[in-house]
Amino acid sequence: MTNIINFLTFLFLFFIFWIIIEGQVYRVRRIKINNRKISKKFKNFKIVFISDIHYGIFFRAKRLLNIVNRINKLEADIIIIGGDYLDISVKSKQDVSEYLDNEFKILRKIKAKLGIYTVLGNHDYYNRKDELLKEINSSSFKLLRNTKELINIGEDSIELIGIDDLFEGNPKVGILKTDSNNFTIAICHNPDFFSEYKNMINYDLGLSGHTHGGQINFFGLYAPYTSSKYGQRYLKKIIHEKDRDIVLTRGIGNGMLPIRFFAMPEILEITLE
């Protein structure tokens, strides 16, 4: 009996150690996207996508600086940030101002050849939207809020379309109703957007965060909580649909508690082919 108790105690301590360590490390995940609408001039075009920074009490400035330095080494053509800049634990007006100021001092070091683009997430609306918009407007970031941006190389283009947050924002899908001849990337913080409006929108690549890969995910097979009404669907790394893909990131930060289990924080490097 004593041996069983010792073994269970060891497993419990190992689990605690694991979830704390995994919540503080990160990896670069690389994927390639093939689509007939990608022109030759955009072959090997590199997109770095991050989301869910959740900067706050459990997120050290040194860690964010390491992440930014790693992103810069990837030498992206464009960088896309999928929203949720602050952790929910940052509540007071003074804390919001201080944390955002410290966060953007670091984020402004991010470099991309053709621009940095961002959408808003649900947490960006919790008593912090105005302060966040000030920081974004005073940086080189381009906010896409139900708006479109063309990325041009010579006479060829791809389209970025950023949609406001599904729950806290005011998403307007009209901008995605036209089927463009250009390769079109739709960005919305919450991946449920792509199911809610599936038969009303046209795009080639969808990008989302929000679910954190479940954050606590039992060996990549099941997460008790997903932040999605579609259950386990949006815990996948990539969802293939007819003529289009939806790519999900597990995010950089952590919601509520600084822990992860089989849902390691990540930077996405997406290469068009």
**pLDDT 10s digits, 126-152:** 989 999 999 999 999 999 999 999 999
pLDDT of 185-224, one tens digit each? Answer: 999 999 999 999 999 999 999 999 999 999 999 988 899 9
pLDDT tops 90 at residue 2: no
| Strand partners for 272 | 33
Output the pLDDT for position 11: 79
Lookup: tokens for 66: 């390491």
In whole angstroms, what is the distance from residue 244 CA to residue 33 CA?
10
Match 């199911």 to its residue by tokens: 195
Output the pLDDT for position 4: 81
Which residues, other chains included, contact 107 with Cβ-Cβ below 8 Å and sequence gap of 6+? Answer: 64, 68, 139, 141
Mean pLDDT of 64-84: 98
**Do the Cβ atoms of 81 and 110 come closer than 8 Å?**
no
pLDDT of 147-167, one tens digit each? Answer: 999 999 999 999 999 999 999
pLDDT tops 90 at residue 271: yes
Total Cβ atoms within 10 A of residue 154: 7
Q: Which amino acid is at 201?
A: I
Which residues, other chains included, contact 170 with Cβ-Cβ below 8 Å and sequence gap of 6+? Answer: 146, 164
pLDDT of 226-245, one tens digit each? Answer: 999 999 999 999 999 988 99
In whole angstroms, what is the distance from residue 237 CA to residue 232 CA?
11
Domain that holds residue 223: 2-272
Output the pLDDT for position 230: 96
Whole-prediction pTM:
0.96
pLDDT of 84-131, one tens digit each? Answer: 999 998 999 999 999 999 999 999 999 999 999 999 999 999 989 999
- Tally of domains within the chain: 1
Is residue 174 very low, low, confident or very high in pLDDT (cuts 50, 70, 90)?
very high
Output the pLDDT for position 197: 97
* CATH assignment at residue 96: 3.60.21
The kind and range of the H/E element at 142 are strand 141-143
In whole angstroms, what is the distance from residue 256 CA to residue 254 CA?
7
